[in-house]
Structure 1
Amino acid sequence: MRATKLTVAALAVVAGLSLTACENGEDIAADPKPVASSPTEAAPGGGGDTDKGQEGSAAGTGSDEDRTVDDCRTDELEVSAENVTIDGDTVGTVAVTFTNGGGRDCTLTGYAGVDLKTNAGSLSAERTGEEAPSIVLKDGKSVSFAVTYPVNDSGGSGVDVTGLVVTPPNETKSVTLDWPGTSLPVTDGSGTPVKVGPIGSAGQGG
């Protein structure tokens, strides 16, 4: 009889331990550790319209450190462009001319900024790397620089140029002109086919 009581008591203890373990397991499952989270900040909004054309900010290599003549401002210059390509050339040339109408002498140094507006997007001209001296442009006088580009001889329509955006050296204000040249050939997009020479690279007018 005593053996039977001990066995019953042992079973009761085992059952109690099993019940406790099960309850603890249910508590853990029912109350998982919370996952920390933090709010995501919204990205800052974009800026405004940035279609201002390329700045002509490169200084020339000319020696005029002691000059007293100020830089030419966009509002003082009359800007024009003409096609000066010679028939039969595989490279087209557009001459861009600055005429000083500001009532004072002023200085042009280096390269102007040049961008072409096309039906495939904006295209920035690369500088030729030629020496770019400083030029004092007398009031009423003119000076020109060259923009060169490959002539489209594919027989197709090519890339249509819809505008020529010019920014005088050391200025940020641009002038948009009609493009007097022809269309550009379609390229693989590996680089710009348009080059811009320094001030004076297309000769200086009177």
Structure 2
Amino acid sequence: MSSSTTARTVRRRSLRIAVAALTAAAGLTLTACSGSDVNGAKPAGRTDGGAAAADPSGADSSAGAQGSDAQAAPDAKVDAKAGAKAGAEGKQSGGAHSTGGGGAGAGGVQRCHTSGLKASFATGGDATPDPNAGGSTTTSIVLTNKGSSTCKIGGFPGVDLKSENGGERWSLARSSKKFSSITLQPGDSTDFTINLAMTKEDKGFYQPAYADVTPPNETTSLTVEWPWGTLVDQRGATHPATFVNPIG
């Protein structure tokens, strides 16, 4: 083979090798671009949440929070309904209990009303006031629960003395003693005392014929006959010696 022929052969081989190398490089370049596009569409190890975390606006993050709220809302509604039902049952139970108490006050015991009480003076023995004791003697009025229910009473009763014809009335003053409530079962009694300034003088006296007794917190009275003698007339006195003490 001539030298010129050999030179041409070598150049063809070099060109084929160069073309093959270029083709291979182009293929690699295309393959790399294709892989980048796929990975860009679906980056490995990344989610929308990850992208949101990187977003300073936090728009996607707030969307995630709304999704959480939406998930919690059904549970909240269920809890609210359960709470409302429990509250309604509690109110019904309380109402039934209150109704069972008959609308009574504390402890289910109502106060004593005039219609359920009987009044009378305590008489006999030590209950009789000493007509010679001046203002240091006392009389007692007994209040009895004549009803069929237990009741509670306490405080100062009102006592109005009145003459035979009812024209001369004396509303007795009250002492400063403290008082408490007393519970009366049916048939039980309690009492209160009246300090008396009695007199045998035929001047400056007051002769009661009846006593109108009004139980505490009531507006109607019970009338009982006055069984004792005359009192010093102190209806206009600032500090009369005849006055009422509290019940019990």
Give how far 1:127 is off: 1.1
Relative to structure 1, the CA distance from residue 66 to residue 187 in structure 2 (aligned partners, 3 Å threshold; closer, same or farther) is: closer
Amino acid at match of 2:218: E
Q: Does 1:80 align with 2:94?
A: no
Partner residue, 1:197: 245
Shift of 1:87: 6.0
What count of residue pairs does the alignment treat as equivalent?
Answer: 136
Which one-letter code corresponds to 1:109 in the other structure?
Answer: G
Alignment correspondent of 2:159: 114
Letter in 1 for 2:242: V
Preserved contact between residue 109 and residue 132 of structure 1 (Cα < 8 Å): yes
Match of 1:160 among 203, 207, 221: 207
**Relative to total residues, which structure has the larger strand share, 1 or 2?**
1
Residue 99 of structure 1, aligned match among 144, 169, 172: 144
Q: Distance in 2 between matches of 1:195 and 1:178?
A: 18
SS at match of 2:115: helix
Give the whole-Å Cα distance in 1 for the aligned partners of 2:177 and 2:144: 22
Name the one with the larger helix percent.
2
| Aligned residue identity for 1:95 | S
Counterpart among 143, 147, 153 of residue 194 in structure 2? 147
Q: Which moved more, 1:177-186 or 1:134-143?
A: 177-186
Q: Quote how far apart the aligned CAs of 1:93 are.
A: 1.9
Contact 1:82 1:180 (C-alpha < 8 Å) held by counterparts: no
Q: Distance in 2 between matches of 1:143 and 1:111?
A: 13
Pairwise CA RMSD of aligned residues? 2.2
Unaligned runs of 5+ in 2: 1-104
Contact 2:132/2:199 (<8 A) preserved: no
> How many Å apart are 1:181 and its aligned residue?
2.0
Q: Can you give the 5+ residue segments of structure 1 that lack an aligned partner in the other structure?
A: 1-64, 201-206
Higher relative contact order (CA 8 A, sep 6+): 1
Aligned residues of 1:157 and 1:183 also touching (Cα < 8 A): no
State the structure with more CA Rg: 2
Q: What is the DSSP-based 3-state SS (H/G/I as helix, E as strand, rest coil) of the residue aligned with 2:229?
A: coil
Amino acid at match of 2:198: V
Equivalent-residue separation in structure 2 for 1:188 and 1:129 (angstroms): 18
Q: Percent identity?
A: 30
Q: Indicate if the aligned counterparts of 1:117 and 1:163 stay in contact, CA closer than 8 A.
A: yes
**Contact map agreement 1:94 1:181 (CA 8 A) in 2:** no
* 1:37 paired residue number: none
Q: What corresponds to 1:53 in structure 2? A: none
State the Cα distance separating 1:82 from its structure 2 match.
3.3
Shift of 1:187: 4.3
Q: What is the distance in 1 between the residues matched to 2:237 and 2:204?
A: 20
Q: Which moved more, 1:148-157 or 1:177-186?
A: 148-157
Matched, 1:66 2:106: yes
Cα contact 1:163–1:177 (8 A) shared by 2? yes
